[in-house]
Structure 1
Amino acid sequence: MKITGKTIFEISDCIRSLVRDGDLAPSDSLPPVRDLAEALDVNRNTVAAAYQRLVQAGFAVAQGRLGTSIAYPPTTGEQEGTSLETPLVNLASGNPGARWLPNPVELLASNPPGAFLYGEQTILPSLMELAEEWVKADCPAQRSIELTHGAVDAIERLAAAQLVPGDKVAVEDPCFLGSISALRLAGMKTLGMAVDEAGVLPEALEAAIAGGARAVLLTPRAHNPTGCSLSKRRADALKAILAAHPGVMVIADDHFALLAETPYYSVIPASTQRWALVRSVSKGLGPDLRVAVVACDLETGDRLRTRLASGMTWVSHLLQAIVVAALRSPAVRQLLGDARDDYARRRSFLRTALRAVGIDTPPPAGGFNLWIPLPDDAKDIAYELAKRGWLVRIGNAFEIQDASQALRITVSDLEDEVALRFAQDLKACLA
């Protein structure tokens, strides 16, 4: 393996070729800057800049005093959802109950959008009106409204709009699977912030900002996987911390807004320069309706719009028309209310069943799931449960820094008698 070149581009392109040809593998160390500069007879700054170019492109990882090494290719990691063909009782999917999802074909028929062409408005005026009404009480008045293909797409686009690969983003720990994957694929580094029943701990946020976080991603309600929601007191404490750091971007992922059981408490200070409030419809209307409303500061809105413009990747007007019809429908609003109550009842029933056998869980404030901390290795418990016929999601799929010995149980379709049997089997596995 021989690195050649005299310029920043020649050196970095040579290293990329060596990676492509298999001469350099992930985790292989690159020569120290001084040594390679002497071997190539170039200035050290040239080699340092070549390495930095590789780091920014995701081909290498800078490790401080340990030098620079070849990066592992980005992967999506675990994803939400599981095989529907499993013979096990599926408590791992993270899906809503299909019975509570409105029929998109009927909704589209009730609000046909007509044909749209290049150059027309990318957001339906009717949806823009609804979006403004949905966010106006919860974010600054000077704002832009944009649409993305769901909340995870919004997070990835917001990161790309205001950050660069290698920037640090503070997230809840444990964190939602999709958010972890989106930030990883965007080349960001995640810093975990511990949570309790009221949301992110203030000291964890302070530590993340002190550790170099350029952005903070918070879930104000129905955090996935734990189900916690921010209390007003906690939201105010976090907002006060963020107010002292106006250069840190604040993203509020209010993904469960259509089904939320608790009020929304803003964490976006007036002093924050870059911010976004994201509200998705997929939890209430169905995972295939990839539409999220993004309210954000004006500069961020301009940057989002350049990639969501007519002729590029705007959100389908057919999807927009379905969302408009759903949000205006009294029948759908009733369906959403019934779904919210049903999910809450099923979570409560399972929690009561677990407590009856001596297993305590944090009280969730929303969502489809129940988070069950474990005293033992979650992988071993999940294996024992699988032998008894249960498919569960283990906590390490959601962890950022701290080990999450826990199970996330999706209750959307969990019948009472099945919940009682699961509680007994989990107790037996813990014995």
Structure 2
Amino acid sequence: MAIHGKTAAEIFDCVRALAQSQQLRSGDSLPPVRDLAVQLGISRNTVAAAYRRLVVAGIATTHGRLGTIIRNQYESSDQEGAQADSPLTDLASGNPNATWLPDIAAALQRKPYTPRLYGEPTVNAGLHRYIQQWMQPDCPAKFDIDLTHGAVDAIERLLNAYLVAGDKVAVENPCFLSSLHSLGAVGLQATGVSVDDEGMLANELEEALRKGARAVLLTPRAHNPTGCSLSKKRAKELSQVLAQYPNVLIIVDDHFALLSTAHYYSVIPETATRWALVRSFSKALGPDIRVAAVASDSATSKELRLRLASGTSWVSHLLQDVVESIVTHPSTTALIEQAKQDYQQRRQTLEQGLQKHGIAFQTNSDGLNLWLPLQGDDQAIALALARRGWLVRQGSSLAVEGEINGLRITISDISPEQCEQLAQDIKRSVG
């Protein structure tokens, strides 16, 4: 395998062909710029330009002192969701409990479908009013409302609106799996920022921004996988950091908003020029309801609307009818409150079992998952639990950089009896 060419375009085409034929594989390092320039008898600037183009095209990524590395373009990776063919008790899916999902058929009966044609407003008027009232207390004074096909879709569209392949994005470490996939799919580089009981660390975010991160993606509550939520103090610290970088894109992924028991504290400073607050309906109404609400500044909203035009890719009005019918119906408030209490009870029961057996876990957490930080090899422990009949998510698969050892356990369907047995089996597996 040899890289050839005398111009940046020729070098780019050569490396792309080598990557497509898998002569260069995921994780392979390209020669240092200086070495390749000497080998080809050309200037270092020409090689550097070719490498930059490879990064922008999503073929390679830059890793500081590690150099330029071929991206993973072919290998499959872990995904969220249940594994239907697994004989194990699935505590890795991240799914809500189907008991607490509203009746979609009843919602359609309450609001019969009216056909819409090209050119209709992209957001139902009634749903727009609901979202406006929902978002108002938590946004800067002026904001616009848009809908996307779920929170992940919103995040991808927002990043594509302002960033190009090779740009850095500050994210929590460990990170939500789908966010990592989204960044990788468009060739963006995730820069990990540690979290503790109060959320993302402000000093590490500042360092990431100082080193060139052009966007920050953070979870204000029910962080997946750890379950942590921002404290008022931490949110203020993060806001102060972000105020120093007014042109950085701020994406707040409040995915658990309808079900969260934690208070929402905003990190968006008044001086921010590019920001969006994303709230998904999927956890409360069901993952198949591919709808998320996005509140943002006007310029960002215009960028989104270019990508959600009424003639091409708007969110289905049929889905909007379902969401509007459910969230505005009095019975939904009671159902959501029951779901909150049920998830909280399941979590507390598992925590009591873990505490009884001396197993450390993330306290004061929220969401559908519980996080167990580990000192040892989480893969070995996950395998030991699998032999005892449990499927859990390894923390190492959620790491942005460095080592993250832990287990993510989905609590939405776990029974009291299972809580005690699981705690015993974790104790045996760790021991």
Length-normalised TM-score, structure 2: 0.93
Q: Do the aligned residues in 2 keep the contact of 1:76 with 1:181 (CA within 8 Å)? A: no
For the aligned residue pairs, the C-alpha RMSD in angstroms reads 2.2
The offset of 1:262, in angstroms, is 1.5
Shift of 1:402: 3.4
Alpha-carbon distance in 1 for matches of 2:90, 2:68: 43
Alignment match, 2:30: 29
In structure 2, the CA distance between the partners of 1:372 and 1:70, relative to structure 1 (3 Å rule), is closer
**Does the 8 Å CA contact 1:75/1:185 hold for their aligned counterparts?**
no
| Cα distance change of structure 1 residues 74 and 229 upon mapping to structure 2, 3 Å threshold | farther
What's the counterpart of residue 261 of structure 2? 261
Paired with 1:341 and 1:304, the residues of 2 have a C-alpha distance of: 36
Residue of structure 2 in register with 1:337 after alignment: 337
1:328 is aligned to 328
Which amino acid letter does the alignment assign opposite residue 186 of structure 1?
A: V
Quick one: percent identity of the two aligned structures?
50
Stretches of structure 2 that go unaligned for 5 or more consecutive residues are none
Contact 1:91 1:390 in 2 (8 A): yes
Residue deviations 1:168-216, cap 9 Å, x none? 1111111111111111112111111111111112222222222221111
What's the CA shift for 1:63? 5.1
The 3-state SS of whatever aligns with 2:48 is helix
Which amino acid in structure 2 is aligned with residue 416 of structure 1?
Answer: P
Report the number of matched residues. 430
Contact 1:118–1:311 (8 Å) recurs in 2: yes
Show the counterpart of 1:127. 127
The aligned residue for residue 310 of structure 1 is: 310
Q: What's the offset of the Cα at 1:93?
A: 1.1
Partner residue, 2:292: 292
Describe the shift of the 1:213–1:44 C-alpha distance in structure 2 as closer, same or farther (beyond 3 A).
Answer: closer
Pair 1:241 & 2:235 matched:
no
TM-fit CA distance, 1:289: 0.4
How is 1:391-406 mapped onto 2 (pairs within 5 angstroms)? 391-406=391-406
Please name the residue that 1:356 is paired with: 356
Report the CA distance shift for 1:76/1:205 in structure 2 as closer, same or farther (over 3 A).
farther
Question: Aligned in 2, Cα 1:24/1:392: closer, same or farther, shift over 3 Å?
Answer: closer
- Does residue 410 of structure 1 match 2:410? yes
Q: Which residue of 1 aligns with 2:182?
A: 182
CA distance in 1: counterparts of 2:180 and 2:248, whole angstroms: 19
Counterpart residue identity of residue 124, structure 2: L
Matched, 1:430 2:425: no
- Name 2:161's counterpart in structure 1: 161
**Farther-moved stretch of structure 1 (150-159 vs 102-111):** 102-111
The CA distance in 2 between the partners of 1:377 and 1:35, in whole Å, is 39
Question: Which has the larger displacement, 6-15 or 114-123?
Answer: 6-15
Q: Is 1:377 matched with 2:396? A: no
Between the aligned partners of 1:384 and 1:190, the Cα distance in structure 2 is 31
Mark the CA change 1:62 to 1:397 in structure 2 (over 3 Å): closer, same or farther.
Answer: closer
- Report the AA paired with residue 232 of structure 2: K
| Distance verdict in 2 for CA 1:75–1:251, change over 3 Å | farther
Write the distance in 1 (CA, Å) between the matches of 2:5 and 2:165. Answer: 25
**One-letter identity of the residue aligned with 2:30:** S
Greater Cα shift, 293-302 or 281-290? 293-302
The offset of 1:278, in angstroms, is 0.3
Q: 1 CA distance for matches of 2:138 and 2:276?
A: 11
Amino acid at match of 1:356: K
Aligned to 1:390: 390
Unaligned stretches of 5+ in structure 1? none
Partners of 1:251 and 1:74 in 2: CA distance: 28
Mapped contact 1:351–1:360 kept (Cα < 8 A): no
TM-score by length of 1: 0.93
Matches within 5 A, 1:54-133: 54-62=54-62, 68-73=68-73, 77-133=77-133
Q: Is the 8 A contact 2:82 2:95 kept in 1?
A: no
In structure 2, relative to structure 1, the CA distance for the partners of 1:31 and 1:360 (3 Å cut) is closer
Alignment of 1:19 onto 2:25? no
Give 1:221 deviation, angstroms.
0.9
- Tell me, in whole angstroms, the C-alpha distance in 2 between the residues paired with 1:171 and 1:315: 27
Supply the AA of the counterpart residue of 2:322.
I
State the SS of the aligned residue for 1:217: strand
3-state secondary structure, aligned to 2:171: strand
> Residue 5 and residue 80 in structure 1: after superposition, are their counterparts in 2 closer, same or farther (change >3 A)?
same
Name the CA shift for 1:75/1:132 in 2 (closer, same or farther; >3 Å): farther
Alignment partner of 1:136: what SS? Answer: helix
Aligned to 2:271: 271
Change (3 A) 1:171 1:145: same
Q: Residue 256 of structure 1 contacts residue 367 of structure 1 at CA under 8 Å; is this kept in 2?
A: yes
Question: One-letter code of the match for 2:214?
Answer: R
Deviates more, 1:2-11 or 1:18-27: 2-11
**216-225 vs 54-63, greater mean Cα deviation:** 54-63
CA distance in 1, matches of 2:22, 2:378: 37
1:9–1:225 CA distance, 2 compared to 1 (3 A):
same
